[in-house]
A = this chain, B = another copy of it.
Amino acid sequence: MRIRTVEGIPEIQAGDDIASILDSLDSPGADDVVVIASTIVSKAEGRSRRLEEFTPSERANDIARRLCERSGEEKDPRFAQAVLEESTELLIEDPFLLTVTHFGHIGVNAGIDRTNVGDGSDILLLPEDPIESARRISTHLNNRPPVIISDTSGRPFRYGQRGVAIGWANIPATRDWRGATDRQGRTLHVTVEAIVDELAAAANLVTGESDEGRPVAYVEDWLPADLDGGDRLFRAVESDFVRQALRGWRYDS
């Protein structure tokens, strides 16, 4: 397996066609997995926003006031409003915002980014429907390779951020090893491997976070011939005990 970045990608603007930019620079093969940072997908889809576009609701004002009391820093209620509009549920409101996006991803501030935006805007929303974004880019690429839209986010229990998939196309989200046997011939019971998350994490090792500006990686020589799997990546709340626990929890500093 090899992972390499695509060189020469320009600053992406609203309306840009990422598939044709990639095909013209360095067209991915049908068996390469194309991992694209969500930031450039968001920019191409016109998801940059200025804060004045958001009118804070009473709830957004409450949240900003409470976060300000906790941290001592000024918090912008318009930013809280943007997070509310991008979310279907707030899992943690205090001491920070952890929410469920409309497409099922759970992240701090609904994954809204305040760095690397440029273009005069203040914030960058995640793509509205990253699975649809991945489908569109995959279909428009000459060789229709698998495409993953990645984001970086923190996680419970473990410090630091890592790359995860928020959209994918032409590849299952998970690889199902159930029914496979181990070395002693016993059947493996519970092994569903979240391959799109592992591919996003691997790509994040080469794309970097900083000013290097290499938002796309190709994973070569990896795609197996058979990929039995499924398309579920975001847990249903019924089987997510952590999410259930957070619903009943309140921060008490």
Contact = CB atoms under 8 A, between A and B. Distances in A.
Nearest to A116: B182
A242 interface: yes
A162 B3 CA distance: 18
A181 B118 CA distance: 13
A181 B210 contact: yes
B248 A249 contact: yes
Given A159-B232, A205-B198, A246 B243 contact: no
A242 B182 CA distance: 34
Given A118-B184, A241-B92, A241-B249, A194 B161 contact: yes
Number of copies: 2
Contact of A209 (B157, B163, B193, B206): B193
Interface in A112-169: 115-118, 152, 155-164
A130 B163 CA distance: 24
Interface stretch (A23-31, A57-65, A75-83, A172-180): A172-180
Contact of A201 (B2, B202, B234): B202
A211 interface: yes
Interface residues of A, number: 67
B249 A158 contact: no
A88 to B, nearest CB: 14
A206 B2 CA distance: 11
Contacts of A191: 152, 161, 209
B158 A194 contact: yes
A86 interface: no
Contacts of A34: none
A205 B189 contact: no
A71 B92 CA distance: 31
A225 interface: no
A160 B210 contact: no
20 contacts: A1-B2, A1-B202, A2-B2, A3-B202, A115-B186, A117-B184, A156-B240, A156-B242, A158-B194, A159-B235, A162-B201, A177-B210, A182-B210, A188-B209, A193-B204, A197-B201, A198-B204, A241-B249, A244-B249, A249-B249
